[in-house]
Amino acid sequence: MKRFFTVVGPYFAIGLFIASGLSVYGCGDSATVNPVVELRSLSVDPGTIQPGFSGGTTRYSVELTSSTTSVTVSAQPAVSGDSVTINGQATTSQVLTLDPPGSTTVVDIVVSESNTSSRTYTVRLVRAGLAESNSLESLAVSPGTLAPDFDPNTLPYTVTVASNIQSVNVTPTVQDSNATLTVNGQAATSGQSRTITLNGPGQSTNMTITVTAQNGNPKTYFIAVSRGVSNNNNLQSLTASPGSLSPSFRANTTNYTVDVASSVTSVSVTPRLQDTDASMTVNGQTTNSGQVRTITLNGPGSNTFITIVVLAQNGTQKIYTVGVSRAALGGNNNLERLSVSPGSLSPGFSASRTSYTVDVEGRVSSISVTAAVEDPNASVAINGEGTNSGQARSIGLGPDGSSTGIQVIVTAQNGSQKPYFITVNRAALSADNNLEALNVSPGTLDPAFSAGTTQYTVEVATGVTAVTVTATKSDPNAVISGDVPNGGQATIPLDGPGTKKTVSITVAAQNGESKTYKITVNRAAPSSNNNLSDLSVSAGSLDPTFAPDKRKYKVDVASVVDSITVSATKSDPNAVLSAAGSVIAGAGVPTGQVSAALGLGTTTSVSITVTAPDGKQKTYTIDVTRPSR
């Protein structure tokens, strides 16, 4: 392909093409020029070419990091249509894989004009080598101080901490961000702290911090943390059971007393150490922290001493002493309380009063007695049977109308006794088998209720299907049975209309004697009333005037009246009204209506049929005459 262009204005053209380095052919007022073969642009991504690109400069270099594995080389010709090859491949952009870190990759870019003229550009891609730094920039331990002071080239260090320090934080920071870091073999992040749990007091804990350079060379720093020996010889807590320490426990208070009852023969002490590395003895016996140690006490009225020696890790000791005072045997043989159920003591209970009576109903066959002693070391017996203080004891009573004696004996710790006596009077059983009240709903008893009357009748309407009977006992202790339960109320379903239902209620007195009340419920037969109580029309008037026994009527209306409404009211609300083959008022609906259209010059009959509850029917007919115009 030949590239020519003509330049007009020789002085301007000559100056331009000399500056551009182009050849000028011809002379006069015009010239033909052949442009130079070169690139318009050249770039490497990532990276920056050095020196900056110029079409006339053919050699460049690019500095790349060691982590860069490939680049994209892009080249555009100065003249459209010229061809470009990158490392022999015809393309204007190519991705090139780099040689290993520390090496140089050479790229040749050739721009050609019809393969007759060309120019070659060379780019050297210089990939940096892997970093060699495997040193720490800084190293810190908290709490504590490194010895000697940190130096990147010093590898072993020591740190001394107090005995109560259980862990330290180590913070290593690398010089080269490309280096990797481990603390005690676990990957770590530069500049971030790592918590290291220490061995016990008096022991050393070793740490290793390894820095591996990008080129793989490692360097290991060593830290030995020495934990001091504890001087803690305090107890964390001290308890005694039964009983409580006086004064309340404090680590710096070493002398205590405990008061217990005379019946207590041993106490359990539980000491706990503040420092688990300390040791202790209780009355000379090696004891673990939190271990319960049981101590046998001296006799009632004497003292027993308990010695707890705490030995710190550094050998210093502290002695805690507990003096346990065991009370002397008591002579208290009083009751604190005495009660019975059912019933109540008369007079009310007093520890110094020893004789009581209790009245109970005749139906009560046993009574529960509860006696509690003032002195927990005293004992109690009810009718000769040993009983725990505050425990209820059931005592069987004699027959109704009799008295039963109960004896409660309290024995003090020193052996002295006090008897309490209870006389339980059981009433004779009641012979009351009467009802106090009797009701039926709906309905009314006939005759009116009287406790001595046992036969009654009740009349109810035919529509009543059930009645509720309520019976109230004169004696609440009597028992109701039969058709009504002891609760005193029952709903009794009735048989069909026109039938009778007998309800029996038996009342049994406490002494077993019974009385039966009977109620006969008469349900009325269905009504045969098929009469109307009223009949009216919306226009005109009935002829003759309405009467229930008159079935046929006439009504004359004006010629302008084209319809009429007939209203009918039943004598028995439970009857049914029907007209024109349909019910217009069912049972319970007192009034019904029917409408009829009237023709000119005609007589229209309107019939209403009344069906009584027993099925009997009666039909009322109204002839309505409308004259011609």
**Domain residue ranges of the chain, discontinuous segments joined by +:** 5-34, 39-127, 136-227, 235-326, 335-425, 435-523, 532-626
Give the pLDDT band of residue 13 (cuts 50, 70, 90).
very low
- Give the pLDDT confidence of 37-88 residue by residue, as tens digits: 999 999 999 999 999 999 999 999 999 988 899 999 999 999 988 999 999 9
- First-to-final CA distance of the chain: 121
Q: What percent of the chain has pLDDT over 90?
A: 79
Q: Which amino acid is at 201?
A: P
**What pLDDT, in 10s, does the model give residues 587-621?**
889 999 999 999 999 999 999 999 998 899 999 99
Q: CA 547 → CA 62, 552, 575, 618, 620, distances in Å? A: 130, 10, 18, 13, 11
The DSSP H or E segment spanning 531 is: none
Q: What angle do CA 131, 137, 141 make, to 5 degrees?
A: 140
pLDDT in tens, 173-228: 999 888 999 999 999 999 999 999 999 888 899 999 999 998 889 999 999 999 88
Q: What kind of architecture, by CATH, is found in domain 435-523?
A: Sandwich (2.60)
CATH dotted code for 532-626? 2.60.40
pLDDT number for residue 115: 61
- What would be the CATH architecture of the domain defined by 335-425? Sandwich (2.60)
- Which pTM value belongs to this model? 0.35
CB within 8 Å of 5: residues ≥ 6 apart: 32, 33
**CB-based burial, 246-284: b 16+ in 10 Å, e otherwise:** eeebebeeeebbbebbbebeebebbbebbbbbbbbbbee
Q: Residue 16: in which H helix or E strand, if any?
A: helix 10-20
CA pair distance 78, 222, nearest whole angstrom: 63
Which class is domain 39-127?
mainly beta
Reference 400, options 423, 424, 428, 359; nearest CA is 428
Q: How confident is the model at residue 262 (pLDDT cuts 50, 70, 90)?
A: confident
What are 360's two structure tokens?
Answer: 């109970």
Confidence of residue 34 (pLDDT cuts 50, 70, 90): low
Between CA 393 and CA 339 the distance in angstroms is 11
- The top-level CATH class assigned to 235-326 is mainly beta
Angle at 513 between CA 511 and CA 514, to 5 degrees: 135
Confidence bin at 153 (pLDDT 50/70/90): very high
pLDDT of residue 6 exceeding 50: no
Whole-angstrom Cα distance, residue 200 to residue 228?
A: 9
| Alpha-helical segments (H) within 360-497 | none
For residue 390, is pLDDT > 70? Answer: yes
Q: 500 pLDDT band (50/70/90 cuts)?
A: very high
CA 38 to chain centre: 80
User: What is the rounded distance in angstroms from the CA atom of residue 429 to the CA atom of residue 444?
Assistant: 34
* Residue 563: half-sphere exposure toward Cβ, Cα within 13 Å: 5
- Residues 529 and 514: beta-carbon distance below 8 Å: no
Each residue's pLDDT tens digit, 474-484:
999 899 999 99
Residue 315: strand pairing partners: none
Q: How far apart are alpha carbons 52 and 43 in whole angstroms?
A: 10
Strand, helix or coil at 92? coil
| Residue 26: band (very low, low, confident or very high) from pLDDT cuts 50, 70, 90 | very low
DSSP 453-465: --EEEEEE-TT--
User: 136-227 — its CATH code?
Assistant: 2.60.40
Residue 35 banded pLDDT, cuts 50, 70, 90: low
Q: What is the rounded distance in angstroms from the CA atom of residue 368 to the CA atom of residue 394?
A: 4
Do the Cβ atoms of 284 and 255 come closer than 8 Å?
no
Answer whether 54's CB lies under 8 Å from 9's CB. Answer: no
β-bridge mates for residue 566, sequence order: 537, 594
